[in-house]
């Protein structure tokens, strides 16, 4: 009798859920809206309660954007817009199609997006993918797959800020960078199966004459483009708009993190995690750093590096997750770019979570190898400062331009070499 009643209950419950699914969806939408309103109101009230601390946090965020982010990313934004508009990206993509398609099931243009992301950091890769989608160069499935692994931190942040600045060790920075970029490649290999039938065969060189196809696409792209002056003006305008949005999110999340610290919410949730995962024997400061890093990458990494009485393995594993996850501050910047297209932000967040987990797992597995060949520090003071001197504006700007030019030239040379080897292989067979 009991199994029969249990079966009836399950059927009735399933039927109620099925027929009321529309009502549940409407309720969930209303609840999310009200939750958003309450959150914004609480944030405004907290700013009124803590005006001095909020102003200081916003100033720190503004100086971080003005002295580091603006000079570092602006050349990449402008340069990427120009190369896409001139058709150079399609030229490179046609030549690198034999590599990107078998590995990641994306067109050769994905190599440009990945290279821009690796050299410049968040959110340049997402910006390039979105522009390619807006141009109609790639399909929705290809854009989603590319966004999954073409969103990485830059080497300057991992090697300089985190490695040398926070952990006082260039070897730590190298280990973090290796795990970060290897995890991104693994994410790309996994996501190659996402909507794998959605691809653009028209971008492929059917006769394997990749150089000829690339030149034809370059000429076709140039014929239907705007004059160079107009193209440059649009590139600068688009880049400035994007960089201003990025700066706004940096300032907002600087204030949000400070409010969460002042109200004790970070400490509260850290105690909950400490209770839930008491078997791990982690210090509560580890969970505080992870929660902070869940929102903002720099502050979370800094807090993790300053923790005492915790093994370096635990700190590096947590930092690897934070850098790859990138935090809601970076996600908000990416959302503002992705929302201009039909690329799903939810899939992007899932890919970043996978990136974080894989990066942390790689660090945990490879740590014995790193510690055997690298001289890791016994402790780290975490002396890295979020603020940089005004003089670093020019240094970052100069270095950013040099990196952009070097990576573009190197990609062109690699593409030409692949085209030559492909033609040579075809002649022999």
Convert the pLDDT of each residue in 370-392 to its tens digit.
888 776 665 554 455 544 456 66
Q: Is residue 28 part of a domain?
A: no
pLDDT in tens, 56-72: 988 888 887 887 778 87
Structural domain span for residue 172: 50-428
Residue of 193, 47, 72 lying closest to 123 (CA atoms) = 72
> Residue holding tokens 């529309």?
22
Look at residues 86, 336, 45 and name the one whose alpha carbon lies nearest to residue 218.
Answer: 86
In a domain, 33, yes or no: no
Evaluate whether residue 389 is within a structural domain: yes
Cβ partners under 8 Å of residue 239, min gap 6: 74, 77, 78, 81
Whether 124 maps to a domain, the answer reads yes
Cβ-proximal residues to 419 (8 Å cutoff; 6+ apart), any chain:
95, 210, 211, 214
- The count of domains in the chain is 1
In a domain, 17, yes or no: no
Element (H, E) at 381: none
Q: What is the pLDDT of residue 428?
A: 58
**Cα–Cα dist 317/301, whole Å:** 11
Residue 282 scores a pLDDT above 80: no
User: Which region among 10-14, 318-322, 418-422 has the lowest average model confidence (pLDDT)?
Assistant: 10-14
Q: Is position 43 within any domain?
A: no
> Radius of gyration (Cα) for the chain, nearest Å?
24
What is the tens place of the pLDDT at every residue in 120-178? 888 889 999 999 999 888 899 999 999 999 999 988 788 877 887 788 787 888 899 99
Q: Is residue 9 domain-resident?
A: no
DSSP string, 240-259: HHHHHHHHHHHHHHHHHHHH
Strand, coil or helix: what is 150?
coil
239 is written with which tokens?
Answer: 């880049």
**Contact by Cβ (8 Å): 320, 140:** no
Q: Domain for residue 21, yes or no?
A: no
DSSP three-state, residue 192: coil
Identify the helix (H) or strand (E) that includes residue 207: none
CA angle 325, 330, 334 (to 5 degrees): 110
Q: 114-117: which pairs have CB atoms within 8 A and are 24 or more residues apart?
A: 114/146, 114/149, 114/150, 114/152, 114/184, 114/188, 115/407, 115/411, 116/76, 116/80, 116/150, 116/407, 117/150, 117/151, 117/152
Taking only the tens place, the pLDDT of each residue in 250-280 is 888 888 888 888 888 888 888 888 888 777 6
Q: How far is residue 166 from each of residues 172, 203, 229, 325, 410, measured CA to CA in Å? A: 10, 44, 44, 18, 31
pLDDT (0 to 100) of residue 201: 62
For residue 20, give Cα distances in angstroms to 11, 24, 30, 319.
14, 6, 15, 43
Instruction: For 23-56, write each residue's pLDDT tens digit.
Output: 545 555 566 667 777 877 888 888 888 889 889 9
């Amino acid at each position: 009798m009991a199994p029969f009643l249990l079966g009836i209950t399950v059927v009735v419950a399933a039927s109620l859920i099925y027929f009321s699914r529309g009502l549940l969806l409407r309720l969930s939408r209303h609840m999310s809206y009200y939750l958003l309103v309450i959150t914004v109101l609480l944030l405004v009230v907290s700013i009124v309660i803590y005006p001095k601390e909020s102003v200081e946090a916003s100033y720190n965020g503004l100086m971080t954007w003005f002295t580091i982010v603006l000079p570092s990313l602006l050349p990449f934004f402008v340069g990427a817009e120009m190369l896409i508009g001139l058709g150079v990206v399609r030229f490179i993509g046609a030549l690198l199609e034999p590599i990107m398609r078998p590995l990641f099931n994306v067109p050769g243009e994905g190599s440009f997006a990945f290279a821009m992301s690796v050299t410049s950091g968040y959110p340049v890769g997402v910006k390039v993918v979105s522009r390619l989608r807006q141009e109609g160069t790639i399909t929705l499935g290809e854009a989603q797959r590319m966004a999954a692994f073409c969103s990485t931190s830059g080497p300057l942040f991992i090697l300089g800020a985190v490695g040398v600045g926070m952990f006082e060790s260039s070897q730590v920075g190298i280990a973090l960078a290796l795990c970060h970029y290897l995890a991104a490649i693994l994410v790309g290999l996994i996501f190659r199966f996402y909507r794998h039938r959605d691809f653009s065969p028209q971008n492929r060189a059917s006769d394997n004459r990749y150089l000829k196809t690339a030149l034809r696409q370059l000429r076709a792209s140039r014929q239907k483009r705007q004059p160079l002056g107009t193209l440059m003006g649009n590139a600068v305008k688009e880049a400035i708009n994007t960089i201003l949005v990025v700066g706004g999110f940096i300032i907002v999340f600087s204030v949000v993190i400070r409010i969460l610290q002042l109200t004790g919410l970070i400490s509260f949730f850290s105690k909950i995690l400490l209770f839930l995962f008491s078997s791990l024997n982690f210090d509560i400061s580890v969970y505080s750093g992870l929660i902070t890093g869940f929102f903002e990458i720099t502050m979370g990494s800094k807090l993790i590096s300053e923790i005492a009485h915790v093994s370096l393995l635990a700190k590096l594993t947590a930092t690897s997750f934070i850098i790859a996850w990138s935090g809601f501050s970076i996600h908000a910047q990416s959302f503002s770019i992705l929302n201009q297209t039909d690329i799903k932000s939810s899939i992007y967040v899932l890919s970043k979570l996978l990136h974080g987990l894989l990066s942390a797992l790689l660090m945990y597995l490879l740590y014995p190898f790193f510690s055997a060949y690298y001289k890791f520090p016994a402790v780290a003071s975490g002396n890295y400062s979020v603020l940089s001197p005004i003089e670093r504006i020019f240094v970052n700007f100069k270095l950013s331009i040099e990196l952009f030019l070097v990576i573009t030239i190197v990609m062109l040379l690699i593409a030409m070499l692949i085209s030559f080897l492909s033609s040579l292989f075809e002649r022999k067979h």
